[in-house]
């Protein structure tokens, strides 16, 4: 893509999210969402193949619907409170509508069907932006309206997301779809704790973004999009196999890696609020996620040469892909657990 | 406790920076030195001076298990030398690093004061064990074995996390030394029942209890020798240690809740001993024998009498050393004929007479011959379970007989009788193997001279 166009699009993307996060007027927040969506669609169409066209169309339809619902909620709130300030909403209808709108934007179940297909159709770097940067704006609005969100709606959506994210990923071999289902499940964890302690939502978001960033950077460096080609990592970059395995286990939430930290903190916060069955259910269904991460780990790191698979062997070139901050990201996504006391109050 | 943890962690740079022909010597010698230093912990005074810090402590229950863990690392390294000969040096160092990581995590598990630290380290031991089983096992079934191992343990232990966090919210602290004194008696209500289940299921899966034992034969059989040794000797005892710690907070509900699990372990020990009589796979036989011995330990812990606690701890240490030795013996067979089928290599006493001595001693300790500590453990457990309910003596007696039967079956099948013809060119035993067996059996026999150090805190 023409670099000038790319710069304009990326700037608009960043500006849109910043507008949503920093604004105090609902209209400006909505404008920020629209700018974000408008700038992201050409980025998704960088390589104009039919898959990308389908992904962009689905993204446009879902996000535009969500923005329209958002605007409806804002207007209802305006009718009942007479002001446009972004604070908690003053009407249960407005609150429900806005929660549903933001759930569509985030990809929470039962509105999660667009996430795997859109993630699959776009290149890896764009997928990374979709699954990390695009989550910031909706979550910031959810954070701000959290006192007025209906608890039952939120809990049902998050429990369903964790379940769907785990179950849906079980039959996948395409790495982008696996990351999409992992994103759905993590969004479920994040929104479950939103109404009790929003700081932990931000902590979970931070750790999730770091882990997803690490995974995508590892995929980009290997230029792989399927499990089968990921299993050739032992040939191209042997050290990366161990690091991929550790990052995947961290995403699964195994102690002593840093992916355990948000799960532990969320379970602690939920039990402090006298909910014991919900965190047990969440923790056990998160094991479904761990199952398909384990499958990836097996094919990448734990079953090595001379066990063969059906791929042609590749030459070991020096990698030409730009993977910025990969070592830092790997360290943060695996070794951050001892810093839990600092992080859970910092945000 | 840092005086053990830091040297153990420093074994890793030692391995990676050693010359290629010195990696085994360096790591084995230095881990042996560290294990000797752990014997200092045996000096248990009554003034609670072994409460080292806010995070680590050691008491007469965790000390024998800790010494066993640290003793086992040099033995594991010695046992692994032969099957890793053909690997490139980097992979050898990776293997040793996995063992050292596992060791450091196990030390921290056994000495943790705070129960959440115990939980995190308990779960953390899963990762190196999984890597050892799945990466360095020998058959394709190892993938399934790793998954069963990981998921059985995780499904059991995630409710434990919720229960521990709940305990912290209600009692204010999860420091084990404080909780012993602060624990409220639990009444028989549904929520307390679920909390009891949540606390205990993780350890019952780890022990394993008879109905949840499916992961154990898979994991033990598919693991390489060091993996089998550490699984049988130490990781199973993690479950027992956890149960011994946490039952002090679950009274008096345990008297009501223990019945189904007591039934399962009493019936299970007979079932698994009987299945040993029909095994063709040598490692599978030893794995099922582990389930049977651990069922005794579960029964002992659940009836909560002083004698049964002493029997449980003694039996854990004794079984750790015995089972590890049996796996080493089975591995010495496997390295020669590359098959675990028992009937393929028979009559080995003619070819390897000194190894036959070790087979004899291991089988004798497995069937709890007096005056070994195996007998002390089993006898204390049998007597205390008898005092809990008289008719259980029938089940216990049957179990002892069947244990004797399969131990002798294993001994006679592999050592005595007419040898098969195709093994007349097996390599003689290495000195390393003899040293390995001796280092297993000598502590076992010496402990029968002074068993009070392994009888736990209630002695």
- Contact between A176 and A125 under an 8 Å Cβ cutoff? The reply is no
pLDDT at A312: 66
Cross-chain Cβ contact A254/B155 below 8 Å = no
Cross-chain Cβ contact A298/B143 below 8 Å = yes
What would the mean pLDDT of A156-171 be, rounded to a whole number? 95
pLDDT(A259) > 60? yes
Q: B60 to each of B37, B146, B308, B309, how far by Cα in Å?
A: 17, 33, 15, 12
Give A 104-123 residues with CB within 8 A of chain B: none
> 10 Å Cβ neighbour count for B393?
13
CB of B134 less than 8 A from some CB of A? yes
Is residue B401 in some structural domain?
yes
pLDDT(A53) > 90? yes
Cross-chain Cβ contact B135/A290 below 8 Å = no
- When CB atoms are compared, the residue of B127, B161, B166 closest to A254 is B127
Q: How far is A162 from chain B (nearest CA, A)?
A: 16
The ranges of chain B with pLDDT < 70 are 45-49
CA dist., res. B14 & res. A24, Å (int): 58
> Using one digit for the tens of pLDDT, what is the confidence trace for A79-99?
999 999 998 899 999 999 999
Is residue B103 in some structural domain?
no
pLDDT(A229) > 90? no
- Contact between B76 and B102 under an 8 Å Cβ cutoff? The reply is no
- The per-residue b/e assignment along B400-410, b for 16 or more CB within 10 angstroms, e otherwise, is bebbbebbebb
Quickly tell me which residue has 């008696």 as its tokens.
B185
Residue B424 carries which DSSP code? T
As a residue count, chain B comes to 459
* Triad A7, A11, A14: Cα angle to 5°: 140
The sign of the torsion formed by the CA atoms of B286, B292, B295, B297 equals negative
Q: How far is A256 from chain B (nearest CA, A)?
A: 5
CA dist., res. A274 & res. A276, Å (int): 6
Cross-chain Cβ contact A271/B169 below 8 Å = yes
Query: Taking CA atoms, what residue in B is nearest to A289?
Result: B151
Is residue B307 in some structural domain?
yes
pLDDT at B185: 85
CA dist., res. B323 & res. B320, Å (int): 5
Is residue B396 in some structural domain?
yes
More confident residue, B23 or A321: B23
Q: CB within 8 A of B350, min separation 6: which ones?
A: B419
pLDDT at B184: 82
CB of B89 less than 8 A from some CB of A? no
CA dist., res. B219 & res. B147, Å (int): 9
pLDDT(A288) > 70? yes
**Longest distance between any two alpha carbons in chain B, whole Å:** 68
3-class secondary structure, B103: helix
Cis preceding linkage at B208, omega within 30: yes
A321 confidence band (pLDDT: 50, 70, 90): confident
From the list B155, B154, B80, B97, the residue with the least C-alpha distance to B124 is B154
> Using one digit for the tens of pLDDT, what is the confidence trace for A108-139?
989 999 999 999 999 999 999 999 999 999 99
pLDDT at A230: 87
pLDDT at A343: 83
Domain span at residue B395 reads: 140-178+185-454
How many domains is chain B built from? 1
CA dist., res. A228 & res. A33, Å (int): 37
Two tokens at A248?
């995947």
- When CB atoms are compared, the residue of B134, B155, B162 closest to A279 is B162
Quickly tell me which residue has 């005074």 as its tokens.
B45
A174 confidence band (pLDDT: 50, 70, 90): very high
CB of B126 less than 8 A from some CB of A? yes
Residue B172 carries which DSSP code? S
ipTM score: 0.92
What would the mean pLDDT of A275-280 be, rounded to a whole number? 93
- When CB atoms are compared, the residue of B147, B161, B191 closest to A267 is B161
CB of B394 less than 8 A from some CB of A? no
What would the mean pLDDT of A2-10 be, rounded to a whole number? 94
The sign of the torsion formed by the CA atoms of B20, B21, B26, B29 equals positive
Quickly tell me which residue has 């399969």 as its tokens.
B406
Bridge partners, B281 (sequence order): B341
Give A 231-260 residues with CB within 8 A of chain B: 249, 254-256, 260
* Triad B229, B230, B231: Cα angle to 5°: 95
Q: How far is A222 from chain B (nearest CA, A)?
A: 22
Percent of chain A with pLDDT strictly greater than 90: 82
A210 confidence band (pLDDT: 50, 70, 90): very high
Is residue B365 in some structural domain?
yes
Two tokens at A178?
């696996």
Chain B residues touching A256 at Cβ < 8 A: 105, 120-121, 123-124
3-class secondary structure, B347: coil
B253-276 vs B392-415: helix axis angle to the nearest 10?
30
From the list B305, B158, B306, B325, the residue with the least C-alpha distance to B232 is B325
Percent of chain A with pLDDT strictly greater than 70: 97
More confident residue, A109 or A68: A68
Is residue B20 in some structural domain?
no
Give B 193-222 residues with CB within 8 A of chain A: 194, 198
Cross-chain Cβ contact A254/B123 below 8 Å = yes
CB of B158 less than 8 A from some CB of A? yes
Cross-chain Cβ contact A280/B121 below 8 Å = no
pLDDT(A309) > 60? no
Q: How far is A224 from chain B (nearest CA, A)?
A: 23
CB of A309 less than 8 A from some CB of B? no
Two tokens at B237?
């005892």
Size of interface A-B (CB pairs under 8 A): 70
The H-assigned helical ranges of A223-336 are: 227-230, 233-236, 238-251, 260-272, 277-297, 326-335
- Contact between A192 and A251 under an 8 Å Cβ cutoff? The reply is no
Give A 314-343 residues with CB within 8 A of chain B: 337
Q: Residue A309 CA to chain centroid, in angstroms?
A: 31
pLDDT at B5: 94
B114 backbone dihedrals φ, ψ, rounded to 5°: -80, 135
- Contact between B273 and B402 under an 8 Å Cβ cutoff? The reply is yes
pLDDT at A92: 94
Q: How far is A112 from chain B (nearest CA, A)?
A: 26
Q: Residue B360 CA to chain centroid, in angstroms?
A: 21
Residue A305 carries which DSSP code? T
Q: Residue B364 CA to chain centroid, in angstroms?
A: 19
């Amino acid at each position: 893509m023409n670099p000038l166009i790319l710069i304009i699009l990326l700037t608009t993307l960043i500006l849109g999210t910043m507008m949503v996060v920093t604004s105090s007027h609902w209209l400006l927040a909505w404008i920020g969402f629209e700018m974000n969506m408008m700038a992201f669609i050409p980025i998704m169409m960088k390589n104009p193949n039919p898959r990308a066209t389908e992904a962009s169309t689905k993204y446009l339809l879902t996000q535009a619907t969500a923005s329209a619902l958002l605007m409806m909620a804002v207007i209802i709130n305006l009718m009942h409170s007479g002001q446009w300030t972004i604070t908690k909403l003053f009407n249960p209808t407005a609150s429900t509508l806005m929660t549903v709108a933001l759930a569509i934007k985030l990809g929470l179940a039962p509105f999660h069907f667009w996430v795997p297909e859109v993630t699959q159709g776009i290149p890896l770097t764009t997928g990374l932006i979709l699954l990390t940067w695009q989550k910031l704006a909706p979550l910031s609005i959810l954070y701000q309206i959290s006192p007025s969100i209906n608890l039952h709606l939120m809990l049902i959506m998050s429990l369903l997301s964790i379940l769907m994210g785990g179950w849906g990923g079980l039959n996948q071999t395409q790495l982008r779809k696996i990351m999409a289902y992992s994103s759905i499940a993590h969004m479920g964890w994040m929104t479950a704790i939103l109404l009790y302690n929003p700081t932990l939502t931000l902590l979970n978001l931070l750790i999730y973004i770091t882990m997803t960033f690490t995974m995508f950077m590892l995929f980009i460096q290997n230029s792989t999009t399927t499990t089968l080609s990921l299993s050739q990592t032992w040939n191209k970059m042997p050290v990366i196999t161990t690091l991929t395995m550790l990052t995947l286990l961290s995403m699964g939430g195994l102690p002593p890696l840093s992916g355990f930290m948000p799960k532990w903190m969320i379970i602690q916060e939920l039990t402090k609020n006298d909910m014991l069955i919900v965190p047990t259910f969440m923790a056990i269904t998160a094991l479904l996620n761990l199952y398909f991460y384990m499958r990836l780990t097996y094919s990448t790191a734990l079953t090595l040469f001379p066990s063969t698979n059906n791929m042609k062997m590749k030459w070991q070139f020096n990698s030409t892909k730009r993977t910025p901050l990969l070592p830092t990201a790997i360290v943060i996504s695996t070794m951050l657990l001892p810093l839990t006391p600092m992080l859970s109050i910092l945000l | 406790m840092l005086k053990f943890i830091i040297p153990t962690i420093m074994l890793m740079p030692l391995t990676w920076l050693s010359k290629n022909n010195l990696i085994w010597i360096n790591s084995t010698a230095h881990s042996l030195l560290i294990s000797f230093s752990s014997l200092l912990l045996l000096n248990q005074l009554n003034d609670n001076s072994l409460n080292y810090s806010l995070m680590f402590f050691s008491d007469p229950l965790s000390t024998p298990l800790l010494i066993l863990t640290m003793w086992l690392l040099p033995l594991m390294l010695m046992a692994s030398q032969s099957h890793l000969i053909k690997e490139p040096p980097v992979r050898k160092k990776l293997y040793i690093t996995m063992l050292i990581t596992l060791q450091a995590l196990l030390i921290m598990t056994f000495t943790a004061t705070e129960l959440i630290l115990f939980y995190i380290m308990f779960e953390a031991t899963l990762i190196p064990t999984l890597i050892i089983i799945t990466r360095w096992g020998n058959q394709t079934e190892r993938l399934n074995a790793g998954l069963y191992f990981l998921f059985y343990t995780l499904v059991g232990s995630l409710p434990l996390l919720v229960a521990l966090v709940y305990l912290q919210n209600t009692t204010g602290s999860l420091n084990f030394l404080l909780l012993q004194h602060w624990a409220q008696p639990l009444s028989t209500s549904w929520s307390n029942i679920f909390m009891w289940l949540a606390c205990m299921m993780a350890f019952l899966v780890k022990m394993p209890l008879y109905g949840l034992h499916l992961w154990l034969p898979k994991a033990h059989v598919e693991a390489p020798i060091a993996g089998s040794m550490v699984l049988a000797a130490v990781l199973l005892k993690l479950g027992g240690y956890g149960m011994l710690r946490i039952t002090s907070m679950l009274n008096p509900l345990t008297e009501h809740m223990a019945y189904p699990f007591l039934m399962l372990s009493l019936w299970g020990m007979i079932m698994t001993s009987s299945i040993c009589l029909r095994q063709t796979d040598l490692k599978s036989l030893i794995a099922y024998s582990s389930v049977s011995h651990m069922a005794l330990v579960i029964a002992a812990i659940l009836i909560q009498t002083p004698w049964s606690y002493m029997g449980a701890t003694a039996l854990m240490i004794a079984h750790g050393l015995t089972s590890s030795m049996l796996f080493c013996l089975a591995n010495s067979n496997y390295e020669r004929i590359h098959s675990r089928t028992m009937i393929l290599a028979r009559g080995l006493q003619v070819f390897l007479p000194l190894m036959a001595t070790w087979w004899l001693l291991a089988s004798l300790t497995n069937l709890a011959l007096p005056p070994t500590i195996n007998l002390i453990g089993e006898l204390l457990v049998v007597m205390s379970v008898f005092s809990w309910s008289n008719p259980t003596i029938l089940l216990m007696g049957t179990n002892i007989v069947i244990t004797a039967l399969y131990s002798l079956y294993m001994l006679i099948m592999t050592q005595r009788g007419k040898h098969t013809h195709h093994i007349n060119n097996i390599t003689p035993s290495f000195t390393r193997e003899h040293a390995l067996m001796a280092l297993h059996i000598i502590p076992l026999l010496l402990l029968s001279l002074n068993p009070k150090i392994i009888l736990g805190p209630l002695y």
